[in-house]
Chains A and B, each alone.
Chain A
Amino acid sequence: EAGVAQSPRYKIIEKRQSVAFWCNPISGHATLYWYQQILGQGPKLLIQFQNNGVVDDSQLPKDRFSAERLKGVDSTLKIQPAKLEDSAVYLCASSTPRRLGQYFGAGTRLSVL
């Protein structure tokens, strides 16, 4: 089966610019996650969707980050405006209710200059 698809693979922007990342989960996976991974650290959950509803966004910096999953399939994560400390890899993952683990995409590496 096809894995979790993410684009772009790399993005370089200047601070105060906007950026958006796209994720297409594995077909049939109802749960979708966005993580932020800063260099040298483990991934940190930003937001979790169940179908098109938000389950957990407690770690999402809502003043600048937003995410949507309008039709319960693919999702977009946006940062507006970006700060230097947003430089990180943004990972998308999806899972089924069968507790067989989360499947991760390759991530988008963001550099904010």
Chain B
Amino acid sequence: DAKTTQPTSMDCAEGRAANLPCNHSTISGNEYVYWYRQIHSQGPQYIIHGLKNNETNEMASLIITEDRKSSTLILPHATLRDTAVYYCIGLNYNQGGKLIFGQGTELSVKP
């Protein structure tokens, strides 16, 4: 599974877009990019995942670069409830599909 690199922490103003970057330069061709978040005292929550194409759901958008070496999770209108640790994870189903969590990015949404 690819090693991912994320900034340790980020701030975002309430109502603005939060753009969380992730570097996964060693990602293999059949490895998905998954994003989870963990709000304090809760279990991780699935947000979105993608392989090559950009993806959007009711929670967020995922932009994956054409070379797949990096991606950006976008929360279009951040609220205080989006304050959490965000994890970017490379996942290869051909190798068991194991989630390997790194340190993640601690996002603080401020009023």
Q: Is B99 an interface residue (CB 8 A)?
A: yes
Q: Is A25 an interface residue (CB 8 A)?
A: no
Interchain CA distance A70-B77 in the complex, whole Å: 45
Q: Is B16 an interface residue (CB 8 A)?
A: no
Q: How many A-B residue pairs have CB under 8 A?
A: 47
Contact of A55 among B46, B49, B96, B100 (CB under 8 A): B96
Q: Distance in Å from the Cβ of A105 to the closest Cβ of chain B?
A: 5
B98 with A42: CB separation less than 8 A: no
Q: Is B21 an interface residue (CB 8 A)?
A: no
A residues 14-38 in Cβ contact with B at 8 Å: 33
Interchain CA distance A91-B101 in the complex, whole Å: 13
Interchain CA distance A45-B99 in the complex, whole Å: 8
What residue of chain A has the Cβ atom nearest to residue B89's Cβ? A42
Contact of A43 among B34, B44, B96, B97 (CB under 8 A): B44
Interchain CA distance A56-B100 in the complex, whole Å: 13
Residues on A lying within 8 angstroms of B by beta carbon are: 4, 33, 41-45, 48, 55-56, 91, 93, 99-107
Residues on B lying within 8 angstroms of A by beta carbon are: 32, 34, 36, 41-46, 49, 87, 93, 96-104
